[in-house]
């Protein structure tokens, strides 16, 4: 039985090995999809996907093997953001073969941020990890995030070293400088798609971004709410298959527009003063962001 959740205008059913009533746990509400469950796994792995047919078998095979070795109580949530290249059939095959793998589907391509938001909302784990489907990260580094997860609310990877062309380095440096100036967020690699959250982080903060700005938005709102962020180095490699879209002008423009929208929202919230929710109104949180330095957390 396929564990696919099709996000259509009508309420969707989530197929799994539970009863029929338990399967109908998903509903659409203002573009967000929440999955309720009677039993939570310890760990959820979330992967947004758009036209990644050449990478999916390797990705899901690695995720299945590595997660099984680190935390037997896990699930994998794959968000198909309207893929056109056969990704859906590959995802269906994996869902059929392993009940721990579930699919969330968008009828059309809605954007990276929207796909990630759907996946995070659908995840049932006490810890929620996400990464991209392009095989640029070594999922074995998930162990480094897990070993800090009991002590911090968010464990964020940073690419060390970053295996990207020079112009992407320049864009990343400029973006990081802008975010530090506007929000005071001092994170080494804001857009690194290798992060783990405690469940309360996902449940506490709104996510409005539908594009590449989503990583920045999550960290800005999380820090504003007082959640503790820890940074660890992770491996990074060049994409072998598919197309990188993060440096396209339209993607950058959308991110800038979403950044300006969030900045104005937070400024308005700050002016309102008392009564504003923490996720809306940023404040300085002493020692809220820490770094692992060169440690790979192998001890013990």
| 231 falls within a domain | yes
Return the CATH number at 226: 3.90.550.10
Q: How far apart are CA 115 and CA 210, in angstroms?
A: 8
| 296 is a domain residue | no
Burial degree of 202 (CB within 10 A; 0-12, 13-18, 19+): buried
Whether residue 297 lies inside any domain: the answer is no
| Predicted confidence pLDDT, tens digits, the chain (300 residues) | 445 555 533 333 333 333 333 333 333 333 344 444 447 899 999 999 999 999 999 999 999 999 999 999 999 999 999 999 999 999 999 999 999 999 999 999 999 999 999 999 999 999 999 999 999 999 999 999 999 999 999 999 999 877 667 777 788 888 888 888 999 898 999 999 999 999 999 999 999 999 889 999 999 999 989 999 999 999 998 767 556 555 578 778 888 888 888 888 888 877 776 555 544 444 434 446 766 654 456 433
282 within domain boundaries:
yes
On whether residue 254 sits in a domain, the answer given is: yes
Domain that holds residue 111: 4-291
Task: Kindly list the distances between the CA atom of residue 223 and the CA atoms of 13, 146, 219, 279, in Å, as whole numbers in the listed order.
Answer: 35, 20, 6, 8
Predicted structure pTM score: 0.78
User: Is 300 domain-assigned?
Assistant: no
Q: Is residue 132 one of the residues assigned to a domain?
A: yes
Number of independent structural domains in the chain: 1
């Amino acid at each position: 039985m396929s564990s696919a959740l099709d996000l259509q205008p009508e309420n969707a059913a989530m197929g799994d090995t539970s009863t029929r009533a338990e399967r109908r746990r998903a509903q659409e509400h203002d573009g967000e999809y929440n999955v309720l469950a009677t039993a939570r796994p310890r760990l959820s792995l979330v992967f947004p996907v758009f036209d990644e047919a050449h990478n999916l078998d390797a990705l899901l095979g690695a995720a299945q093997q590595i997660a099984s070795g680190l935390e037997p109580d896990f699930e994998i949530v794959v968000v198909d953001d309207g893929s056109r290249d056969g990704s859906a059939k590959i995802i269906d095959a994996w869902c059929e073969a392993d009940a721990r793998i579930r699919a969330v589907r968008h009828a059309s391509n809605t954007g990276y941020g929207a796909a990630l938001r759907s996946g995070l909302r659908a995840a049932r784990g006490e810890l929620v990890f996400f990464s991209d489907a392009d095989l640029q990260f070594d999922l074995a580094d998930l162990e480094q995030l897990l070993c800090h997860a009991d002590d911090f609310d968010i464990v964020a990877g940073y690419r060390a070293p970053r295996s990207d062309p020079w112009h992407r380095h320049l864009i990343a440096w400029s973006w990081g400088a802008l975010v530090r100036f506007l929000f005071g967020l001092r994170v080494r690699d804001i857009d690194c798609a290798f992060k783990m959250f405690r469940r309360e982080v996902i449940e506490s903060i709104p996510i409005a971004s539908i594009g590449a700005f989503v990583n920045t938005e999550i960290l800005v709102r999380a820090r504003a709410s007082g959640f503790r962020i820890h940074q660890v180095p992770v491996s990074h490699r060049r994409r072998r298959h598919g197309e990188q879209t993060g440096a396209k002008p339209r993607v950058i423009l959308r991110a800038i527009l979403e950044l300006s929208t969030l900045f104005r929202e937070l400024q308005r919230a700050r002016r309102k003063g008392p009564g504003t929710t923490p996720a809306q109104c940023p404040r300085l949180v002493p020692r809220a962001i820490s770094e692992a330095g060169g440690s790979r957390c192998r001890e013990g």
